[in-house]
A and B are shown apart, each in its own frame.
Chain A
Amino acid sequence: MPMTITEKILAAHSGHDEVHPGQFVMAKLDLMLGNDITAPIAIDEFRKTGAAKVIDSARIVLVADHSTPNKDIKSAEQCRLMREFSLEQGVEHFFDVGRGGVEHALLPEEGLVAPGECIIGADSHTCTYGALGAFATGVGSTDLAVAMATGECWMRVPESIKVVYRGRLKPWVGGKDLILYTIGQMGVAGATYQSLELCGDTIESLPMSDRLTMCNMAIEAGGKNGIIAPDAITDNYMKSVTKRPYRTLASDSDAVYVRVMEIDASKIELQVSTPHLPENAKPVSAVRDVVIDQSVIGSCTNGRIEDLRMAAKILKGRRAHPRVRLIVIPATQRVHLQAIREGLGEIFIEAGGAFSTPTCGPCLGGHMGILAKGERAVATTNRNFVGRMGHPESEVYLAGPAVAAASAVLGRIASPEELS
């Protein structure tokens, strides 16, 4: 039976020669992830399973990234619980403040995720790792708890949607614009329970950082995972982060899809998703009158060095609009250091921006950039739900780093083309 790449990975991890959509399988996991919000519940539930030791301390990753550096006493207690559990269980990959960063930017750069692997994370954006050709999906804390005890997770094999992108991208347009446009086309529930397989010549020439951005937001279409077949770009990326072997798989040419979408990527403009759903994607030109109070550049979606370079290119020699608070947050320690070495930090600070340590903080309305009632932000993050970045009457406009940087300068939503 022909299979998609997702079906092949799930079959290989559940002891089956083949699997079909709708089938329930127990998948053996290569890696399982939790953070300071989801791991504390997972640790409590793990104790209730009756297991004394985790199944494999090398396959567990715990990252203190959401409310860190600890924003209050309760958050500090959550992090301590995770730190103590890591010590007790000998968890090899515990990333504390100052040693890690935002989980989904961190794990790829640490070489902890690889093509062909089966990964769960108690965080919805775990689907990011599909950019490397892995099956990766977000689950809850109880799933993580049970996975830590058994090494397995129950899965319903998803149907697959193939999205084919063709053509050369316009200037400044990147992975964020492609995925916002796609979510705009299919809706926030357009891929519910399904796999989003991204391909076509646009994807084949797309750098890994943009691929990670795209797969990161598969969940915003309701998808179980996003996935891109490994190629030379994947191999080059993997070579730069790890020496360990991995398995390269691809969908069969006659694999079955519930839907095939063709997108002419050459026509896609810079995109902005207006409040309060990521599916409200519009060309930047349609929303350029929107005045903003804050611009956030960072997160697991767009906090990689390539994103910061793009923002710096626009902000170099310019100042953020006096009314706008510009907040630039490199996603990991490594990205932060690289940004300093390349002089990007200087550019952001000279532009009147706050340039800070890695954290998920503002993306989820945790800390480090909360919006007051009626305030509006443009953000390179992934969700613009009601109250996502602060007060329930504040607003988030999602965009890529080029639009976020240009908007910071002009004080309203803007394209970099509008800058002199």
Chain B
Amino acid sequence: MSTLRGKVHRYGDHVNTDVIIPARYLNTSDVAELAAHCMEDIDPTFVSTVKAGDVIVGGGNFGCGSSREHAPLAIKGAGVSCVIARSFARIFFRNAINVGLPVLVCPDAAADAKSGDELAADLTTGKIENVTQGTSYQAEPFPEFLQQIIAAGGLVEYTRKRLVA
């Protein structure tokens, strides 16, 4: 894992999976199609402004609502390198870990970040730097079990190795 760097797209509390990817687009599993509608009902400009490597920053309970894995897949497909939030809803959190979308829990970094700020994050150490504001933060470490899944590149790879072993 390496350092990622990108511009912030900042949202508030309770960003739910219905606004991340509205159900009217769930008749497909195609990641590119899902990504084309990512965040549509909360930020219609997101898709036209997001650049590869950008970071979504949310408040509390990010990803609440439905279990649709289409939500982290749409975010990942849109080129977002990482989601940083004060806290995550549990199904979104496990889906992100399972599909290999980096997520970091860091209340201070989430509170300070503004849209357009440039952030750098080291996923191995959990160090987050707000380049624009000149501030740095430490994200909460992942439990050891989750680190194994992350290190394997997601739950499917983790399982494939287990099944072969």
- What is the interface of chain A, defined by CB distance below 8 A to chain B? 24, 37-38, 40-41, 44-45, 48-51, 66-67, 71-72, 74-75, 78, 121-124, 126, 138-143, 145-146, 149-150, 154, 156, 188-189, 192-193, 219, 222, 224, 277, 364-366, 383, 385-388, 392
Contact = CB atoms under 8 A, between A and B. Distances in A.
B70 A41 contact: yes
A41 B69 contact: yes
Q: Which 3 A-B pairs have the closest CB atoms?
A: A140-B95, A74-B27, A189-B61
B23 A364 contact: yes
Contacts of B14: 188-189, 277
A272 B37 CA distance: 31
A143 B89 contact: no
Interface stretch (B2-10, B49-57, B152-160): B152-160
Given A67-B26, A71-B27, A387-B18, A48 B156 contact: yes
Contacts of A139: 67, 91, 94-95
B18 A383 contact: yes
Nearest to B30: A74
B73 to A, nearest CB: 8
B1 interface: no
A78 B73 CA distance: 17
B81 interface: no
A219 to B, nearest CB: 8
Given A38-B67, A140-B67, A140-B98, A72 B27 contact: yes
Contacts of B29: 40-41, 44, 78
B143 interface: yes
B42 interface: yes
B29 to A, nearest CB: 5
12 contacts: A24-B145, A37-B70, A48-B156, A51-B163, A124-B65, A124-B66, A142-B154, A142-B155, A146-B156, A150-B163, A222-B89, A387-B22
A386 B18 contact: yes
A392 B16 CA distance: 13
Contacts of A126: 67
Contacts, number: 141
B67 A123 contact: yes
B111 to A, nearest CB: 16
The interface size bin for chain B is 35 or more
B70 A387 contact: no
A24 B145 CA distance: 7
A188 B64 contact: yes
Given A24-B143, A50-B163, A386-B42, A364 B66 contact: yes
B19 interface: yes
Interface of B: 14, 16, 18-19, 22-24, 26-29, 41-42, 60-61, 64-70, 73, 87, 89-91, 94-95, 98-99, 143, 145-146, 149, 154-156, 159-160, 162-164
A192 B89 contact: yes
B68 to A, nearest CB: 7
Contacts of B23: 37, 364-366, 388
Contacts of B94: 139-140, 143
A37 B29 CA distance: 8
A251 B44 CA distance: 48
Contacts of B41: 386-387, 392
Contacts of B66: 123-124, 364, 383
B24 A366 contact: yes
B21 to A, nearest CB: 11
Question: Which residue among B28, B29, B67, B73 has the maximum number of chain A CB atoms within 10 Å of its CB?
Answer: B67
Contact of A143 (B27, B68, B73, B155): B155
Contacts of B149: 154
A74 B29 CA distance: 10
A323 to B, nearest CB: 25
A123 B67 CA distance: 5
Contact of A192 (B27, B28, B87, B145): B87
Contacts of B28: 74, 78
A274 to B, nearest CB: 15
Question: Which residue among B70, B95, B149, B159 has the maximum number of chain A CB atoms within 10 Å of its CB?
Answer: B159
Contacts of A48: 156, 160
A78 B14 CA distance: 29
Contacts of B146: 24
